Structure 1
Amino acid sequence: MLQRIRVAALAIALGAGALVLVPTAATAAADPVITRVEINPGPPVDVTNGAVTATFSFATKGADKAELQLKPPGDISVGKPVDLTSAKNGDWTKWTGTKSFDSSSTGTWSWLAIAGGASRGGTFEVVAKKVLDTKIVDFDAGPDFVDRGDLVKVSGRLLADGKGYGAQSVAITFRARGADAYREITKVTTGADGSFSATVRARETGWWRAEFAATSGAKGSVSDADRVDVRRGDRSSRIAGFDARPEPVDKGDRLTFTGALQVEGRDGVAGERVSIFFRAGGSQRWEYVTSDVTGRDGRFWASATAQTSGWWRAEYSGTRGVRGSVSGADWVEVTQPAPAPAKADTRLIKFNAYPEPVKRGKYVKVAGKLQIDDEGSWAGYSGKVALYFKRAGSHKWEYVKTTRSSESGRLYTKVKAWNSGSWRFVFAGDEDAYGDTSRSDYVRVKR
């Protein structure tokens, strides 16, 4: 009413002909509304384990059409559109599209949602984590023979990309003889250097191994299997191939004693002590001289100085579940050595074992040079030289083979490598020259 009065008054004041009615301006159409784009899964989109299809979705209000563009990392061009499907819900429309990503798609991507005159953008990451290669090495379960219910120690080392992999869970599994599958017995956690060990109780004969399950950052791996025999009663043993040599031998020279300990059902038994006894000619008393612990194949090696002629034999006292045994006796005649002629000093130089590391089963090449003291100067010398090997963790040097140096003293041979350890040449000397031992050279064997 008041407004009409004001208009009428204005019309009277301006005159009837001067009144102009101006219509109210229509309200301008509002810009479309766009929600933020949702990405599932992620972000970041993880393609570590293979290609991933991500779903992109957003909603608009006040627009009948919409577009979603994706731009790869480092691309400065306009993004590529994604095929969208729509679903109406009242005044809102939901838009959905998919895109597949793989390991070649890593980096920061850009997205841009467009509806009418409005747009909204953002970024997301596509990532691929480094997956480590793992390997379980040096796995061992022992001792190899136990009585039912005895404890067995299992140990090994978990490596990731060749280095110790610490703070990881490793399963100790067992497969009984005659069974088809391994079953988990216990779990252990690796130390800082990847090493692990556990004590388990042996109930039946079978194979033990360690298993590392794959994680998001590392591949899985399984160790070699190691058999442990569970004994039900005492087994017989025997010492095979016992030999004392050389025969005859000069007084004061070294005798070596070799053989193998065998237990019923197995060719060789490791970790058992074998003693060497001597009985002089004309005596009835056997006397202890030295001993050695058998290696993985049951073999033993010992030495002693020859003093007088007599009989030598090896004795095994047995252990729980295994009866002891005695080898046959071996007669060695000891002779008085002839006066030693003047000898010259020798030296083994430039010793090298290579390549390092070497793949298991491939050849290790060993080179060096044998020289003799020739009136104050060193010259090449031709002689028989023995190659010895000492496994990693062992204190015993084992004979491998004999080779001969050339007239210039050059030495070269090769052997297949099965275990990591140290190599060296030994020249025992001859009637003209004293012996010498080269430096040792360690070679790591990788699987």
Structure 2
Amino acid sequence: MVKRIRVAVVAALGIATLVAGPVTAASAGTNIVDPAVSSVSVNPNPIVVKGSETVKVVFTAETKDNASKVTGVIKPELGVETSFELAKDADLGSGKARWKYSKDFNRQSAPIKWTFRAVVGNTTPVSTEFSVKQVYETDFDDIAAAPSVVDEGEWVTLSGVLRQNGADGWAVVPNARVHLAFRPLGGSYSRLPGSVETNGQGKFWLKARASKSGHWRAEYDGSPTRLGAKSETDRVDVRAKARSSRIVGFGAGPGWVTEGDRLSVRGLLQLDAQHGWEGYRGQKVAILFRADGSSRWDQVDSGWTNRDGRFDVDVTARRSGHWRAEFRGADGVKGSSSDTDHVTVRKPEPAPEPERAASRVIGFNASPEPVRYRKYLTFTGKLQVDDGGWEGYRAKVSLYFKATGSKKWRYVKVTTANGSGKLYAKTLAYGSGYWKFVFKGDDDFYGDSSRSDYVKVRR
């Protein structure tokens, strides 16, 4: 009777247990119970760390059941976890509360997935994931614009190296697109067309034509993992485009002379001005000589151009060879060189000189008189020799000029008398003075000079 009653009590207790509800994990003999944390959050999420800045991150947990203490844990996907106590931030009523903890994230924070979990006592923790993204700072090194002084329209090259301050410190950035920007003096920066990628060592070279003096710099726009950057600047000064010069009408004469004779080397230096070629006054011109059989040019003298750009230099003839003039340039003006002119130099004939007959230059005339500046003058005359009586003679005769106030006759050009001895020459008039024909003589006849004829030049 007693045994039946015990069995009935146990059966009654079993029924009561089933009616009371399911068995919890705690009643089954484990330490896991329903969570007291109702929700967790991370703000901001994702955490974006830009350069060397620090981002303050707030970890929040909401609890129920009048929790008195909340423990938080954060752990990177690959790394060691860190625990902390959250502080109560607000009571939400009915035993609920909000808890918070703040932590600084910086460049040392791993840019991977993290987990945040919060727990009260031995209840089940509640967790959430968040991520950290690193946007590394960048900067330029070794910025240089070359050349530092250029002519207008010439190329300028800006070079440098792009680096980033990553998790392991500063390192070069390959395959990053870099742009070129320019600021004229007194102006503001503007980006120029075109860009280049850095090479495997982070180096780059950007080229553009220079039109104004100013400052040049490189610019990088950044990427999802790198901040943009602007380099330091380098200044380039731009000179006005150099104008051209030329030497025309160059000549050295007479065409053959005796060793030790004087030569006249002359020409016209011109400048490419706004309205065309014009004489370039007050400039130094070098006179160069290259002996026959030599490849070397030597400077033997120099002269200065007059107000019309003309130069006329007397030199001593020593050897046969070529002559030329060279202008070596000036500020904003390019240099130039003339054509060449050959002069034959003969050795003096040994004495005694063979007997020769007389010659004369007669009927010399220069016209018109007067003449306007840069108009043509015409010269006529006649060369005769005494060959049993005066008769015309075919030979070369030189024209000479002596400016008013000067004591020096200067060679101008050579002409040839025809079979009747008639002489004719013409040249442009640049200044008032005296003119004459000179026959230097030859093996058969002595030389002679005509009378001089004065011509006034009017401007």
Normalised-by-shorter TM-score class: 0.3 to 0.5
Larger Rg: 2
Q: TM-score, normalised by structure 1?
A: 0.41
Give the TM-score, by structure 2 length. Answer: 0.40
